[in-house]
Chain A
Amino acid sequence: MSVLVDNAIDVPVTPRMTWRETLRRHPTMILGGTVLTLLILMAIFAPLLTSLDPNALRPPRRLRWPSAEYWFGTDMIGRDIYSRILYGARVSLIVGFGVAICSTLAGLFIGLVAGFNRTGDAVIMRIMDGLMAIPPILLAIALMALTRASIENVIVAITIAEVPRVVRLVRGVVLTLREQPFVEAARASGTRAWVILMRHILPNTMAPLIVQATYICASAIITEAILSFLGAGVPPTVPSWGNIISEGRTLFQVAAYIVVIPGLFLSVTVLAINLVGDGLRDALDPRLARRM
Chain B
Amino acid sequence: MKAPGSTKLLEVDDLRKHFPIRRGLFSRVSSKVYAVDGISFDIAPGETLGLVGESGCGKSTAGKAILKLTDPTSGRVKLRGVDITDLSPGEMRQYRRELQVIFQDPYSSLNPRMSAGAIVGEPLTNFQIAKGQEVEDRVAALFRRVGLRPEQMRRYPHEFSGGQRQRLGIARALAVNPSLIVGDEPVSALDVSVQAQVINLLMDLQDEYGLSYLFIAHDLAVVEHISHRVAVMYLGKIVELTDRASLFLEPLHPYTEALLSAVPQPEPPKTARKRERIILKGDVPSPINPPSGCRFHTRCPYAFDRCKVEDPAFEEVKPSHWVACHLRGN
A interface residues with partner B (beta carbon < 8 Å): 1-2, 11-15, 180-182, 184-193, 195, 199-200, 203-204
Most chain A CB atoms below 10 A, which of B105, B108, B111, B175 = B111
Task: Contact check, B122 vs A191: say whether CB atoms are below 8 A apart.
Answer: yes
Most chain B CB atoms below 10 A, which of A14, A190, A203 = A190
Q: Mark B51-79, 1 if CB is under 8 A from A, else 0.
A: 00000000000001001010000000000
Task: Contact check, B172 vs A185: say whether CB atoms are below 8 A apart.
Answer: yes
Q: Mark B81-123, 1 if CB is under 8 A from A, else 0.
A: 0000000010001001101110111011111111000000011
Task: Contact check, A190 vs B96: say whether CB atoms are below 8 A apart.
Answer: yes
Task: Contact check, A11 vs B69: say whether CB atoms are below 8 A apart.
Answer: no
Bound: A159/B284 CA distance, A: 52
Task: Contact check, A189 vs B112: say whether CB atoms are below 8 A apart.
Answer: no
Bound: A239/B175 CA distance, A: 63
Residues of A within 8 A of B108 (CB): 11, 13, 180-182
Q: Given A180-B108, A181-B109, A191 and B89 touching (CB < 8 A)?
A: no
Task: Contact check, A193 vs B96: say whether CB atoms are below 8 A apart.
Answer: no
Task: Contact check, A190 vs B123: say whether CB atoms are below 8 A apart.
Answer: yes
The total of Cβ contacts below 8 Å across the A-B interface reads: 76
Residues of B within 8 A of A200 (CB): 111, 114
Residues of B within 8 A of A186 (CB): 111, 122
Task: Contact check, B97 vs A184: say whether CB atoms are below 8 A apart.
Answer: no
A-B pairs with beta carbons under 8 Å apart, 20 shown: A1-B22, A1-B27, A12-B112, A15-B158, A15-B159, A182-B108, A182-B109, A184-B101, A185-B101, A185-B103, A185-B110, A186-B122, A188-B96, A188-B101, A189-B175, A190-B123, A190-B176, A191-B123, A192-B93, A203-B113
Bound: A12/B107 CA distance, A: 11
Residues of A within 8 A of B96 (CB): 188-190
CB within 8 Å of A: which of B257-295? none
Bound: A14/B158 CA distance, A: 7
Residues of A within 8 A of B109 (CB): 181-182, 184-185
Task: Contact check, A182 vs B111: say whether CB atoms are below 8 A apart.
Answer: yes
Q: Which of B105, B126, B158 contacts A190 (CB 8 A)?
A: B126
A2-B25, A184-B103, A200-B114 known; 4 new pairs, CB 8 Å cut-off, are A182-B109, A189-B100, A190-B123, A199-B114
Residues of B within 8 A of A195 (CB): 126
Q: Given A203-B113, A204-B113, A188 and B69 touching (CB < 8 A)?
A: yes
Bound: A12/B111 CA distance, A: 10
Residues of B within 8 A of A203 (CB): 113
Most chain B CB atoms below 10 A, which of A187, A199, A200 = A187
Residues of B within 8 A of A190 (CB): 93, 96-97, 123, 126-127, 176
- Whose C-beta in chain B lies nearest to the C-beta of A207? B113
Q: Which of B89, B103, B123, B158 contacts A181 (CB 8 A)?
A: B103
Residues of A within 8 A of B122 (CB): 186, 189, 191
Bound: A170/B154 CA distance, A: 29
Q: Given A14-B158, A181-B105, A184-B69, A189 and B110 touching (CB < 8 A)?
A: no
Q: How far is the CB of B139 from chain A (nearest CB, A)?
A: 13
Q: Which of B22, B25, B110 contacts A182 (CB 8 A)?
A: B110
B interface residues with partner A (beta carbon < 8 Å): 22, 25, 27, 64, 67, 69, 89, 93, 96-97, 99-101, 103-105, 107-114, 122-123, 126-127, 156-159, 169, 172-173, 175-176
Task: Contact check, A187 vs B69: say whether CB atoms are below 8 A apart.
Answer: yes
Task: Contact check, B27 vs A13: say whether CB atoms are below 8 A apart.
Answer: no
Bound: A187/B68 CA distance, A: 10
Q: Which of B107, B126, B157 contacts A189 (CB 8 A)?
A: B126
- Whose C-beta in chain A lies nearest to the C-beta of B182? A188
Bound: A252/B78 CA distance, A: 81
Q: How far is the CB of A107 from chain B (nearest CB, A)?
A: 21
- Whose C-beta in chain B lies nearest to the C-beta of A3? B27
What are the 7 A-B residue pairs with the smallest beta carbon separation, nearest first? A189-B123, A181-B109, A190-B96, A13-B112, A190-B126, A181-B103, A182-B111
Residues of A within 8 A of B176 (CB): 189-190
- Whose C-beta in chain B lies nearest to the C-beta of A193? B89
Residues of A within 8 A of B156 (CB): 15
Bound: A195/B127 CA distance, A: 13
- Whose C-beta in chain B lies nearest to the C-beta of A177? B111
Q: How far is the CB of B86 from chain A (nearest CB, A)?
A: 17
Q: How far is the CB of B213 from chain A (nearest CB, A)?
A: 15
- Whose C-beta in chain A lies nearest to the C-beta of B89? A193
Bound: A193/B158 CA distance, A: 25
Q: How far is the CB of B92 from chain A (nearest CB, A)?
A: 9
Residues of B within 8 A of A185 (CB): 101, 103, 109-110, 169, 172
Task: Contact check, A189 vs B69: say whether CB atoms are below 8 A apart.
Answer: no
Q: How far is the CB of A242 from chain B (nearest CB, A)?
A: 41
Residues of B within 8 A of A11 (CB): 108, 112
Residues of B within 8 A of A188 (CB): 67, 69, 96, 99-101
Q: How far is the CB of B165 from chain A (nearest CB, A)?
A: 11
Bound: A203/B109 CA distance, A: 16
Most chain B CB atoms below 10 A, which of A13, A182, A184 = A182
Bound: A203/B104 CA distance, A: 24
Q: How far is the CB of A102 from chain B (nearest CB, A)?
A: 26
Q: How far is the CB of A178 from chain B (nearest CB, A)?
A: 11
Residues of A within 8 A of B169 (CB): 185
Q: How far is the CB of B120 from chain A (nearest CB, A)?
A: 10
Bound: A191/B107 CA distance, A: 20
Bound: A204/B111 CA distance, A: 9
Bound: A180/B109 CA distance, A: 7
